[in-house]
Amino acid sequence: MSRIASGVVVLPLVCSSLFASSLAAQTIAVRAEENFRAEPNGAVLAVLNPGASLPLLQRRDRWVEGALEGWVWARSLQVTTRGGFDLVVAVEGGENLRAEPSGAVHARLIQGTLLEELERRPGWIRVRRRGWLWEASAADTGRPPSEGGAPAPASVLGVTRWGGRRRTPTSR
């Protein structure tokens, strides 16, 4: 292959790699209570509290993809192998996703949401799920995500205790 031809192949790969790394270095903060979805305008996985912070993974049309991570009470989850996930939220009404065990609530997971297991502590499991939210509901913080892609500490998030409301509009 000639030098010009090989350069034509390598340049797009380098550019896409640089774009992906610049997105990975950004976080988004939720401006108001917002649905976190399996895909743009898809099934609701969780309801995010205002101030929740997520690493930005990609943008598509008017949607942003982030990785939601936190701690869930172990008794609320069941083991599964569906869709390549390890766990499913098994309790009616869903369960809180917390910044740390017994810590501040930054989202409410919907019953049936599939999750990836990251770590266990007595009574608690740290989980992760990729998902989408409406771009207008998120602010780009310009900050790199905290270690491990976890949300910022609760003191930074300014989250409040979950009030039990669930927002599930048919669009957005």
Q: In angstroms, what is the C-alpha Rg of the chain?
A: 18
Q: What is the pLDDT along the chain (172 residues), one digit of tens a residue?
A: 555 544 444 333 333 333 444 444 689 999 999 999 999 999 999 999 999 999 999 999 999 999 999 999 999 999 999 999 999 999 999 999 999 999 999 999 999 999 999 999 999 999 999 999 999 988 877 655 444 444 433 323 333 333 333 333 333 3
Amino acid letter for position 64 = V
Q: Which residues pair with 132 in a beta bridge?
A: 37, 65
- What are the domain boundaries of the chain? 3-157
pTM assigned to the model: 0.70
Whether 32 contacts 156, CB under 8 Å: no
Give tens-digit pLDDT for 90-117.
999 999 999 999 999 999 999 999 999 9
Q: Which residues pair with 58 in a beta bridge?
A: 65
Q: How many helices (H) and strands (E) does the chain have?
A: 2, 12
